[in-house]
Structure 1
């Protein structure tokens, strides 16, 4: 059964790499493994239970609802423009600054593709207008799209928090310093690559291409609204506790309400956007988590999980490397490390103590590795969006981001585990 399970897992990730529907592939693979193991019901039950998971569903759905409202009201655009306008005044640190700006915006706007669209439309022209080569400008923005690993709305953080029996902000607080150090290191490495390739200055842009950037009228009040929920979560966290505790769904709804009051949009349309975001969160994100739960249950039923645990028990280093670079490689090949990280956290992370690690540390490492791997993938949705904005081949992003992402993964792995 273990051999059959290994074959199925290889075929599963091969199908994901070839861009077959991830949810369908994971679900079918999980059901087949459960069938071989003699317990089909276990996979289906795991799939259904995730749709009523009180720790995951409200968080993910409200974050997506808030994000859609911020996009509709153009608040996210104002926030991006405010930061990019500041960045243009510091040309020496433009490239690493662009990476870190995108990184921190991606915390507030956790969708990699959404962040890429919001940031790229302003930041990429700003960089190019300042003389940065288009491929390097796009690579800088793409490299920053793993900031979502620190977002309370990213599916993995609530998942790890639930496994560890704690709250989301405690999970994020455990790895924040390590991730920020790695992000700074990756940004500096990319800046060095830009200097070596002579892509940090000297590019001449057509004035017409910069017209939209130059004519944009910034509203500072609009610009701060997207970060308000994050501020509320930080100051109400167990670490600071400046105000009574606020959950992620409550923070997102408060942020949405403030956005309504400040921007005064068409309330009917804005409300539709909020619920559209919630629906997409349920169908796209929770649906993926449910399919991954079926897959990981299949791994358990067929005996793969037990075999992996036995191997990792004998070597702490194996668990360390697999947690980081397993999801990283899948993310790099498929453009999404979500499936690998979800599978790892569902099957391996609950047994972290057996390998000498904490659940928070091991589970977080898996999702961080997945996020970094995606930032060098030529088939990632965010990368394709960014490459189109810069009018380059997505493979140009891979050429520039491979070394920074590998270095960042190693840094987090050594500091966190």
Structure 2
């Protein structure tokens, strides 16, 4: 009876997430309600209190979002995007795949998918349309690249997996690097093939959406968004003497951008701390809510039942890790809630299924992120569709095959 009630509550939770109710509220209420039904109401509140002070997550996520706000304040993000756009505009055959890769690179430095869609879309969509690319295809190309945050140490899921596995966040990123790049290449090739097949790669006449060719790119400004990531990668691989943690790298990057751009120090400081606060409220908040939800699942015995089912059928574990978060990411428009719940509830038991924690966690993260990338109701999809002046569903019609192809190749590499 308890399991039946739990399953019903989970279905109701998914329903409200699909209806785009606030994910934090839905997960919190669901988790508390399940804990109360199970007779352990304090379990949910204890989980809430515990996750409020998760040091590793707070340091990484908040510092990265603080740095992202600094890049917006200094307008270094605009210089990076315009630099990429100026290069792509000169090589027409590489325009569509180049935009996918360029957007991915921007999303590595600026981990918000919606923020990347707004910043990159404002430049790349008009660029492609002015070159004759169909508006929906232009929006789809940008959307295909909005999962580069997988390689950012501040993406909330990377520190979560690292903490569960007891390893460094850069080790998690290094493990998933090849799979991510391979999936990106597949997505770029497939979206280009679809554009040529539908004859949407040229012939469109844009009116009123021209690229601002008067924008003067400062190369040094353009390099600033990438600096902390490069510092972390160099320190973790080629130059051990430069090894540092995420918060330190973000602060160094912010300080360097202040020296380079000579912006108001007070304004830059305010931007950094505003970004940190926003990160705690919007990103850490989802992590906390997901923890409460998982505590409710645990109290009702659903986690144990799910794990027992997988232990008895180990062949479905890898499928669940990949497809589960992917489908929920597609349905809800956000891969965060599903991925967080899976990683907190199931990933710690990866060894029981003959998998490494970083392997299972990376599969769940990639699945949820790609599901959101394909979703017509994701914030980033709505943003690029709005810039292009098309229905969000038209974007999904064009990027579903590239995203599914990216998931297949990415999961294959992570599995084996």
Residue 2 (1) aligns with residue 3 (2): yes
Shift of 1:359: 0.4
Shift of 1:140: 0.3
- Partner residue, 1:278: 276
- Partner residue, 1:115: 116
Taking the TM superposition and a 5 Å limit, the aligned residue runs for 1:31-180 are 31-180=32-181
Alpha-carbon distance between aligned partners in 2 of 1:161 and 1:330, rounded to the nearest angstrom: 23
Taking the TM superposition and a 5 Å limit, the aligned residue runs for 1:1-400 are 1-206=2-207, 208-210=208-210, 212-237=211-236, 239-400=237-398
How many pairs does the alignment contain?
A: 414
Alpha-carbon distance between aligned partners in 2 of 1:328 and 1:399, rounded to the nearest angstrom: 17
Alpha-carbon distance between aligned partners in 1 of 2:95 and 2:291, rounded to the nearest angstrom: 42
Shift of 1:149: 1.2
Flag structure 2 segments of 5+ consecutive residues without an equivalent.
none
Output one character per residue of 1:259-312: Cα deviation in whole Å (capped at 9) or x when no partner: 111111122222211111000011111111000000011111110111111111
Alpha-carbon distance between aligned partners in 1 of 2:176 and 2:4, rounded to the nearest angstrom: 36
Flag structure 1 segments of 5+ consecutive residues without an equivalent.
none
Q: Secondary structure at the match of 1:199?
A: coil
Bigger shift: residues 223-232 or 319-328: 319-328
Contact persistence 1:160–1:171 (CA under 8 A): yes
Which TM-score applies when normalising by structure 2?
0.98
Alpha-carbon distance between aligned partners in 2 of 1:142 and 1:30, rounded to the nearest angstrom: 32
Output one character per residue of 1:392-412: Cα deviation in whole Å (capped at 9) or x when no partner: 111111101111111111212
Output one character per residue of 1:338-380: Cα deviation in whole Å (capped at 9) or x when no partner: 1000000010000001111110010111111111111111111
Which TM-score applies when normalising by structure 1?
0.97
Alpha-carbon distance between aligned partners in 2 of 1:302 and 1:260, rounded to the nearest angstrom: 51
Alpha-carbon distance between aligned partners in 1 of 2:315 and 2:250, rounded to the nearest angstrom: 39
Output one character per residue of 1:234-257: Cα deviation in whole Å (capped at 9) or x when no partner: 0111x3344232100000010011
Alpha-carbon distance between aligned partners in 2 of 1:76 and 1:195, rounded to the nearest angstrom: 31
Shift of 1:144: 0.4
Shift of 1:33: 1.2
Q: Secondary structure at the match of 1:50?
A: helix
Output one character per residue of 1:19-42: Cα deviation in whole Å (capped at 9) or x when no partner: 111101101111111112221111
Alpha-carbon distance between aligned partners in 2 of 1:258 and 1:183, rounded to the nearest angstrom: 30
Alpha-carbon distance between aligned partners in 2 of 1:249 and 1:133, rounded to the nearest angstrom: 41
Contact persistence 2:129–2:209 (CA under 8 A): no
Contact persistence 1:235–1:243 (CA under 8 A): no
Contact persistence 2:137–2:398 (CA under 8 A): yes
Task: Give me the CA root mean square deviation.
Answer: 1.1
Contact persistence 1:383–1:394 (CA under 8 A): yes
Contact persistence 2:294–2:341 (CA under 8 A): yes
> Against the structure 1 CA distance between its residues 317 and 88, is the aligned structure 2 distance closer, same or farther, given a 3 Å change threshold?
farther
Q: Secondary structure at the match of 1:215?
A: coil
Alpha-carbon distance between aligned partners in 2 of 1:301 and 1:240, rounded to the nearest angstrom: 46
